[in-house]
Amino acid sequence: MAFRAHNFNAGPAALPLPVLEIAQKELCDFKGSGMSVIEMSHRGKEFDDVNNETNAKVRDLMGISDDYEVLFMPGGASMQFCLIPMNFIREGKSADFINTGSWATKAIKEAKVQKDINVIWDDKEENYIRCPKASEIKVNPDAEYVHICENETIGGIKYFELPECGDVPIIADMSSCIMSEVMDVNKYGMIYAGAQKNIGPSGLALCIIRKDLLERVPENICNFFKYTTHAKNASMYNTPNTWAIYILGLVCDYLKSLGGVPAMEKINREKAKILYDVIDSSDFWRCPVDKASRSIMNVVWRLPSEDLEKKFVAEAKAHNMIGLKGHRSVGGLRASIYNAVPKASVEFLAEFMKEFEKVNG
Amino acid sequence: MAFRAHNFNAGPAALPLPVLEIAQKELCDFKGSGMSVIEMSHRGKEFDDVNNETNAKVRDLMGISDDYEVLFMPGGASMQFCLIPMNFIREGKSADFINTGSWATKAIKEAKVQKDINVIWDDKEENYIRCPKASEIKVNPDAEYVHICENETIGGIKYFELPECGDVPIIADMSSCIMSEVMDVNKYGMIYAGAQKNIGPSGLALCIIRKDLLERVPENICNFFKYTTHAKNASMYNTPNTWAIYILGLVCDYLKSLGGVPAMEKINREKAKILYDVIDSSDFWRCPVDKASRSIMNVVWRLPSEDLEKKFVAEAKAHNMIGLKGHRSVGGLRASIYNAVPKASVEFLAEFMKEFEKVNG
């Protein structure tokens, strides 16, 4: 077995070792073709099968109905921040945004450049320590959509209940929580996710779009920017990121073999609890986020001083634990414990935390 | 050694076997890190090194001066078709486009949606069988740039001389010829290329931009769409396609080991001559393009009937030669003989052609 680091990177992030091993085995010769999967024409039968099968696997794992398109788009979530307002806010109309932190803010910025939008809830004063309760949100009934970031990778918070939006569709950035817990896709107008956190390598966005929204796509934008273009061409309008689609397919196989998203949710909740239990066990550790909004994918916490935080990161690294430094914009510590991070790695981290507290607490 | 097909795919296309073998070896453990290169944070030191080194390797191989930015962008050339007019045609200004076939046409379409542009030469009447001579092109002196497709992958034609443009910068789509022959980068305002033909996997565009052009980038467009954003962040504004950047770096190492771009040009010209010599040897074969514009990357030809063309493709496939069917929009046959296609594969194809003519001619 290959030597493995305990990989707590926020993204690109850990992938399942069995997935990497299959990709490694097939890398120079995909299924006896004499070619690597990355040397294959996206228009050829072999890759067309990979594309279609991966699409079907995503649909199966997430329980996506025929009312939705499933698209593989180039770039990550950052490009979607630009395309969503461009495609779905019609002339003279507006959309509502909920600001829960770094990623919601980025989505708002790219929307504001193009359209007249409303930020209907913003937790800036509390320093983005929680997601809103449903009762706090009043949606403009004529809004084209409500945009939320379902899980803030940097802030370490997640929604535990969705806002009540009536007929206004919810569009959710799920980059850091896609396929980590059971989600009812039918509650959303659109779900999108950069693949590089929970489901694959970087350079790919998974976009799940309710088909009726596609009727809004304007004529007078570039073809490449239109969701309709990518939908009509089954994500093959231009050359897609074939490697990422292939790996996403292998990740889906792996999740399925473990019992699908319900099984992942159970493991993920167990993993998160292990870390939050240590954090809650003493005043040495402090989780800055509201208990009711704690992410099960990105666990953030602080130590009594920045010097101790630096020491923690350095000693953890010496113990083969990677990626525990908080995002540079907020500091502190963070463990991203996506689907592919083994429970054993989380337990190893928890034990290390207890030892660290004994010496430094 | 791995079983290898003779891979004449137009893109994604053949990659050097030594590159694939290194990637395979390192796939589960990049340089003893205990992580795959696709599991690494793009903000970590290991990948930062990969990004910077790949940038330096591209600069070295192509002789790119400090007057230019070298950017790795998500997507392929199709996204650049949208971004170039958005970034470089200022309000009230225009740009000139030369239409040499399928890809130039796509670039024109995406520009026209956004800006007022001029198509100053269009070979539609001749059915796009050649690139213009320098003497045929009159550039509008106040154009923001002149856009060309340096090598038309589908039409199988290339420029052998550039238009005289005075102070008007040339912007060239080099997706299917980048690093295939020596190019003086200083003659261009911008060079861009989808990586998936000559230099890497899909989902990455290499963009080489003269720095003074960046002063034109408008304020009022999305940050993600601004070249300045990607330049200021060394291609790391958002999570880049880390796998493609890594493979591009390995491809650069491989090209360097063979003697760099001059050596590739020599081999590529030899490879193209082998096929064109067969095509010119009898009336059984017919190359539809003007002799003065023949591509050395994409060799296109016809047989006396479509039935014979189908037979050719099927028998070639039975002999382990892949990707010889012409693009669906033009029909016929095409061999894409990029840097990574071995001369032995081209010789094998040439021998097969001779045998095929003996039986069917």
Residues 6+ apart with CB under 8 A from B346: B271, B274, B275, B335, B337
Q: pTM higher than 0.95, yes or no? A: yes
DSSP letter (8 states) at residue B341: S
User: Which neighbouring-strand residues pair with B75?
Assistant: none
CB contact under 8 A, A12 and B114: no
Interface check A134 vs B, CB under 8 A: no
- Mean pLDDT across B213-242: 97
Interface test with B, best of A47, A82, A154, A241 (most B CBs within 10 A): A241
CB pairs under 8 A between A and B: 222
pLDDT at B120 over 60: yes
Cβ distance B23 to A27 under 8 Å? Answer: yes
Question: CB neighbours (10 Å) of residue A119?
Answer: 16
The amino acid at A85: P
What local confidence, expressed as pLDDT, does residue A44 receive?
A: 94
The greatest distance separating any two alpha carbons of chain A, rounded to the nearest whole angstrom, comes to 64
pLDDT tens-digit profile, chain A (361 residues): 568 999 999 999 999 999 999 999 999 999 999 999 999 999 999 999 999 999 999 999 999 999 999 999 999 999 999 999 999 999 999 999 999 999 999 999 999 999 999 999 999 999 999 999 999 999 999 999 999 999 999 999 999 999 999 999 999 999 999 999 999 999 999 999 999 999 999 999 999 999 999 999 999 999 999 999 999 999 999 999 999 999 999 999 999 999 999 999 999 999 999 999 999 999 999 999 999 999 999 999 999 999 999 999 999 999 999 999 999 889 999 999 999 999 999 999 999 999 999 999 8
Phi, psi of B351, rounded to the nearest 5 degrees? -65, -40
**Which residue is catalytic, options A57, A121, A123, A173?**
A173
Q: How large is the angle between the packed helices B242-257 and A242-258, nearest 10 degrees?
A: 130
B67 catalytic, yes or no?
no
- pLDDT per residue as tens digits for the range B345-356: 999 999 999 999
What local confidence, expressed as pLDDT, does residue B35 receive?
A: 97
Question: CB neighbours (10 Å) of residue B187?
Answer: 12
Burial of A262 (0-12, 13-18, 19+ CB in 10 A): exposed
Cβ distance A301 to A271 under 8 Å? Answer: no
What local confidence, expressed as pLDDT, does residue B1 receive?
A: 56
A197 catalytic, yes or no?
yes
Cβ distance A219 to A233 under 8 Å? Answer: no
Interface check A316 vs B, CB under 8 A: no
- pLDDT per residue as tens digits for the range A248-263: 999 999 999 999 999 9
Interface check A313 vs B, CB under 8 A: no
Interface test with A, best of B25, B26, B33, B38 (most A CBs within 10 A): B38
CB contact under 8 A, B41 and A12: yes
Write out chain A in H/E/C secondary structure: CCCCCEECCCCCCCCCHHHHHHHHHHCCCHHHCCCCHHHCCCCCHHHHHHHHHHHHHHHHHHCCCCCEEEEEEECCHHHHHHHHHHHHCCCCCCEEEEECCHHHHHHHHHHHCCCCEEEEEECHHHCCCCCCCHHHCCCCCCCCCEEEECEECCCCEECCCCCCCCCCCEEEECCCCCCCCCCCHHHCCEEEEECCCCCCCCCEEEEEEEHHHHHHCCCCCCHHHCHHHHHHCCCCCCCCCHHHHHHHHHHHHHHHHHCHHHHHHHHHHHHHHHHHHHHHCCCCCECCCCHHHECCCEEEEECCCHHHHHHHHHHHHHCCEECCECCCCCCCEEEECCCCCCHHHHHHHHHHHHHHHHHHC
What local confidence, expressed as pLDDT, does residue A103 receive?
A: 97
What is the spatial distance between Cα A97 and Cα A328, in angstroms, rounded to a whole number? 25
Q: Kindly tell me the sign of the dihedral angle through the C-alpha atoms of A216, A220, A221, A222.
A: positive
A103 catalytic, yes or no?
yes
- CA-nearest residue to A103 within chain B is B238
| Contacting residues of A for B323, CB less than 8 Å apart | 41, 44
- CA-nearest residue to B238 within chain A is A78
Closest CA to A335 of A291, A250, A272: A272
Burial A184-198 (b: 16+ CB within 10 A, else e): ebeebbbbbbbbbbb
Cβ distance A102 to A152 under 8 Å? Answer: yes
Interface check A81 vs B, CB under 8 A: yes
CB contact under 8 A, B323 and A41: yes
Please report where in the chains the tokens 């929604």 appear, as a residue.
A159
What is the spatial distance between Cα A140 and Cα B191, in angstroms, rounded to a whole number? 46
Burial of B12 (0-12, 13-18, 19+ CB in 10 A): buried
What local confidence, expressed as pLDDT, does residue B92 receive?
A: 96
What local confidence, expressed as pLDDT, does residue A328 receive?
A: 87
Cβ distance A237 to A43 under 8 Å? Answer: no
pLDDT at B137 over 80: yes
Burial of A65 (0-12, 13-18, 19+ CB in 10 A): exposed
Q: Strand A190-194 relative to strand A204-210: parallel, antiparallel, unpaired?
A: antiparallel
**Which residue is catalytic, options A96, A103, A115, A226?**
A103
**Which residue is catalytic, options B158, B197, B226, B271?**
B197
Rounded CA Rg of chain A: 21
Interface check A179 vs B, CB under 8 A: no
| Contacting residues of B for A18, CB less than 8 Å apart | none
Q: What is the ipTM of this complex?
A: 0.98
What is the spatial distance between Cα A273 and Cα B225, in angstroms, rounded to a whole number? 40
Q: Is the peptide bond before A12 cis (omega within 30 degrees of 0)?
A: yes
Binned at pLDDT 50, 70 and 90, residue B3 comes out as confident
Phi, psi of A269, rounded to the nearest 5 degrees? -65, -40
Closest CA to A212 of A52, A72, A87, A81: A87
Please report where in the chains the tokens 């067309």 appear, as a residue.
A48
Mean pLDDT of all residues in chain B?
97
The greatest distance separating any two alpha carbons of chain B, rounded to the nearest whole angstrom, comes to 64
Closest CA to B55 of B231, B259, B239, B194: B231
- CA-nearest residue to B5 within chain A is A34
What local confidence, expressed as pLDDT, does residue B2 receive?
A: 65
Interface check A314 vs B, CB under 8 A: no
User: Which neighbouring-strand residues pair with A95?
Assistant: A117
What is the spatial distance between Cα A200 and Cα A178, in angstroms, rounded to a whole number? 11
What is the spatial distance between Cα B247 and Cα B310, in angstroms, rounded to a whole number? 34
Q: Which pair of tokens denotes residue A94?
A: 């507006």
Interface check A224 vs B, CB under 8 A: yes
Burial of B315 (0-12, 13-18, 19+ CB in 10 A): middle
CB contact under 8 A, B238 and A75: yes
- pLDDT per residue as tens digits for the range B14-46: 999 999 999 999 999 999 999 999 999 999 999
3-state secondary structure (DSSP) of residue B149: strand
CB contact under 8 A, A24 and B21: no
Domains and CATH numbers, chain A: 18-256 (3.40.640.10), 261-360 (3.90.1150.10)
3-state secondary structure (DSSP) of residue B299: strand
What is the spatial distance between Cα B159 and Cα B290, in angstroms, rounded to a whole number? 11
